[in-house]
Structure formats: structure tokens, C-alpha cells
């Protein structure tokens, strides 16, 4: 790797493991994220997303493995990492009886910023919070609290943002505005690592990784992730879809049946066998069939169904 490409790497870790008692929470995590990328971590609750993020930013020490974050060793240089990282947790932490401006000034003092007042005013202006600067944080809606949390993360001008399900409980417009802001930050060279449950948000990420039972099962662009699983999907519309869904689930080659609006998505990996076993239903005039491209949700349901569960969780 040449010097230019080395400078472009923000996160580079190999073989990270973390246990909590007998529970092996993160298993052999290897990950490379480049400057200006928005990398999405996906996976169900308890899959290891939050633990992985905390190891990357120096809040947790891995049991084994090695790597760097922003050029600093994730085990021996955690203080240096924390100075250059903005970390936004699932729950926004504010002093509800302080105003937006007072909250940000307090955070600025915690960072020891000499130009705290100026930076706070810049943050308020940048995120559209100027007119609400004197409003109590406790009176804000979820979307405005989210903006306040992002402003607090950006005060010390970090090069990396680690966002742990930042849009949970936020209305759709606020989510959209938030993602527009993330892409603007990425365009300025700020790297974003974000965990999310929302498929539409996953599609907004430049790269994705799906983590389950502590293992990162697949990573790449959305197109790479979908192509890697070689899935085949048909959409079927017609009458009495619940009864049809029950019949479809009894067909061996059908891995998943999911409702999508007024249709069902029928997915599997063996296209020829599926066509052969679905032929009687496809000939039924009550139903309209069309082959469609699989989407991320199809892929992630497939991964959940095929990934081996750890022995410690089976017993």
C-alpha cells in the first residue's frame, strides 16, 4: 500500500474478539474503512454492533486482535483516538433543564476548547439550531434532540463519527434530513460508521457490513452484498395471499416468503428448482408472478436463516 492510500485508511482492524463472561460477543472482526466513507453496520439486537463500535473508538479493549483507528493503535493509544472521534449513542444524553446553547457550551468546556463560544455558535448555525438556541433541551422533539446530539459530536471537529442507531424513534423527515447532513459531512472528508435497523438507511451507506452472533458475515457496497448471496426472488400478487404464503412455505426450495405491500416476495438460492416447484402455482390464473431483483432485506433475512448460531446460545 502506498503512502497516499495508507493515509486514506481511517479504520483498519484485524481479528478483534471480545468476551463478556462466557458470552463471545465479537468474533474475529476485521474491517477497513476509508476516509469520507459512510459505513453501515447492520444486524439484529445483541449481534455485537455496539460492542464493535466501542472497541473501535477506544471505549472497550479487545481481548485479542489488533489494528488502528485514525492512525492510532486501538489498544495503546485510546486517548488519542477519543480526541479525534465523535461518538453518538443510542440515547441522546442532555441536561434537560439547560438550553441547547448551554448544553453545547458545557460539552465544549469538557473538551477544553479555548474558542468554545465561537464553536458553539458555528455549530448552532450549521445545523439550523440558531433560533432554538435558548430553548430547553427537555422540550425538544426527537428530531431536534438528534440535531443537538450531532452538534455536540461535531464541536471538537472530529475526523470520524461513530453513530449507534442515531435515528431510532425519529420521524421520517428528521431521518432524511439527518442523512443529508451525514452525506455533506462525508463530502468534507469526515468518515462515518453508523449502525441501523432501517433498510432504507442501509441503502444510503457507501459500504455495508452485516453482523450476526458476533461475526461480520458480509461487507461491501449494497450491490456487492446482494450479489454475494446469489438469491432469486419472485413477486406474486393476487387473492388470499395469506393462504398462498402458507402453501409457499411448504415448498422445499423456497427459503423465505415476505409481504411487500399488496404482494409477496418469494426467495431462494436454486432458481431452476424454484421454477420447477412453483410451476403449478405460477399456472394458477388467480396469481400474477414476476421475477424481481432481490433487495437488502431479502439478503439479510437469508443471512439470519442460514448463519449458524453459536453453541453457547443453543444450550
233 vs 47, more confident: 233
d(CA 18, CA 16): 7
| pLDDT (0 to 100) of residue 308 | 56
Residue (of 213, 220, 263, 221) closest to 239 by Cα position:
263
Q: Which domains are present in the chain?
A: 35-60+78-226 (3.40.50.300), 232-293 (3.30.70.2070)
| pLDDT (0 to 100) of residue 166 | 84
Residue 48 pLDDT greater than 50, yes or no: yes
d(CA 96, CA 93): 9
> Quick one: cell of 110?
469538557
Helix (H) or strand (E) holding 239: none
> pLDDT of 250-306, one tens digit each?
999 999 999 988 999 999 999 999 999 999 999 999 999 999 999 998 898 888 877
Residue 311 pLDDT greater than 50, yes or no: no
d(CA 82, CA 59): 8
> Quick one: cell of 247?
402453501
> pLDDT of 199-254, one tens digit each?
888 899 999 999 999 999 999 999 999 999 999 999 999 999 999 999 999 999 99
d(CA 49, CA 54): 9
| pLDDT (0 to 100) of residue 78 | 93
> pLDDT of 64-111, one tens digit each?
999 999 999 999 999 999 889 998 876 667 888 899 999 999 988 888
Core vs surface per residue 4-31: b (16+ CB within 10 A) or e: eeeeebbbbbeebbbeeeeebbbbebeb
> pLDDT of 90-99, one tens digit each?
666 788 889 9
| pLDDT (0 to 100) of residue 305 | 78
Please, are residues 88 and 163 in contact by the beta-carbon 8 Å criterion?
Answer: yes
Residue (of 202, 161, 225, 175) closest to 41 by Cα position:
202
Please, are residues 157 and 120 in contact by the beta-carbon 8 Å criterion?
Answer: no
Distances (CA, A) of 194 to 53, 178, 186: 9, 12, 12
> pLDDT of 159-214, one tens digit each?
999 998 888 777 888 888 889 999 999 999 999 999 987 888 889 999 999 999 99
Which residues touch 130 (CB under 8 Å, ≥6 apart)? Answer: 121, 124
Q: What is the mean pLDDT of the chain?
A: 88
| pLDDT (0 to 100) of residue 51 | 93
> pLDDT of 130-143, one tens digit each?
888 888 988 888 78
Residue 118 pLDDT greater than 70, yes or no: yes
Pairing of strands 72-73, 232-238: unpaired
Burial class of 126 by CB neighbour count within 10 A (0 to 12, 13 to 18, 19+): middle
User: How would DSSP label each residue in 14-31?
Assistant: EEEEEEETTEEEEEEEEE
Residue (of 57, 291, 287, 64) closest to 193 by Cα position:
57
Amino acid at each position: 500500500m502506498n503512502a497516499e492510500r495508507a493515509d486514506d485508511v481511517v479504520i483498519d482492524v484485524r481479528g478483534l474478539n471480545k468476551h463478556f463472561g462466557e458470552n463471545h460477543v465479537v468474533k474475529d472482526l476485521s474491517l477497513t474503512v476509508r476516509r469520507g466513507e459512510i459505513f453501515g453496520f447492520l444486524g439484529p439486537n445483541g449481534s455485537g454492533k455496539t460492542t464493535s463500535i466501542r472497541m473501535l473508538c477506544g471505549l472497550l479493549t479487545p481481548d485479542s486482535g489488533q489494528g488502528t483507528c485514525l492512525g492510532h493503535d486501538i489498544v495503546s493509544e485510546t486517548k488519542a483516538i477519543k480526541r479525534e472521534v465523535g461518538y453518538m449513542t443510542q440515547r441522546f444524553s442532555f441536561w434537560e433543564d439547560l438550553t441547547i446553547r448551554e448544553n453545547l457550551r458545557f460539552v465544549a468546556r469538557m473538551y477544553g476548547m479555548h474558542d468554545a463560544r465561537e464553536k458553539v455558535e458555528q455549530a448552532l448555525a450549521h445545523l439550523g439550531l440558531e433560533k432554538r438556541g435558548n430553548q430547553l433541551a427537555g422540550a425538544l422533539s426527537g428530531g431536534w434532540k438528534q440535531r443537538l446530539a450531532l452538534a455536540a459530536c461535531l464541536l471538537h471537529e472530529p475526523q470520524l463519527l461513530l453513530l449507534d442507531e442515531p435515528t431510532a424513534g425519529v420521524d421520517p423527515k428528521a431521518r432524511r434530513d439527518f442523512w443529508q447532513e451525514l452525506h455533506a459531512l462525508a463530502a468534507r472528508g469526515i468518515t462515518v460508521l453508523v449502525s441501523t435497523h432501517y433498510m432504507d438507511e442501509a441503502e444510503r451507506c457507501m459500504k455495508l457490513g452485516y453482523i450476526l452472533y458476533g461475526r461480520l458475515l458480509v461487507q461491501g457496497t449494497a450491490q456487492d452484498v446482494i450479489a454475494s448471496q446469489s438469491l432469486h426472488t419472485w413477486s406474486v400478487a393476487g387473492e388470499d395471499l395469506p393462504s398462498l404464503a402458507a402453501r409457499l412455505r411448504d415448498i422445499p426450495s423456497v427459503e423465505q416468503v415476505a409481504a411487500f405491500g399488496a404482494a409477496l416476495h418469494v426467495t431462494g438460492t436454486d432458481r431452476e428448482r424454484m421454477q420447477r416447484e412453483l410451476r403449478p402455482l405460477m399456472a394458477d390464473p388467480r396469481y400474477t408472478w414476476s421475477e424481481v431483483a432481490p433487495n437488502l432485506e431479502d439478503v439479510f433475512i437469508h443471512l439470519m436463516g442460514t448463519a449458524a448460531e453459536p453453541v453457547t446460545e443453543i444450550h
